[in-house]
Amino acid sequence: MIHRHLSITGRVQGVAYRAWMIDQAQSLGITGWVRNRADGSVEAVVAGPAEQVEALLTRVRHGPSGARVADVTVTETPAQVHDDFVRRATV
């Protein structure tokens, strides 16, 4: 299991990015969370087998059809226990 923190910038709010990411993560068996940030970015923590996390990272860099991803910053994060992949409130 690997754990990553993501910061996704560009046109990623108002385009159903969070709902799309939840679908993508759940289809890959990844746990964690996603939320909008007040600065217009999307933030997420993802956890799962390395191969599935890498597959999600590839998808996240493109996003849903209405998104225009400018950058994805990926950092390691301490292990967290999640039962599913969920949406969190905007911060």
Class of residue 57 by CB neighbours under 10 A (exposed 0-12, middle 13-18, buried 19+): middle
Q: Which of 4, 11, 35, 36 is catalytic?
A: 36
Longest dimension (CA), the chain: 32
User: 64-86 b/e with 16+ CB inside 10 Å = b?
Assistant: beebebeebebeeeeeeeeeebe
61 belongs to the catalytic site: no
37 belongs to the catalytic site: no
Q: Which of 18, 59, 87, 88 is catalytic?
A: 18
How far is residue 14's CA from residue 36's CA, in Å, rounded to a whole number?
10
Instruction: Tell me which residues are annotated as active site.
Output: 18, 36
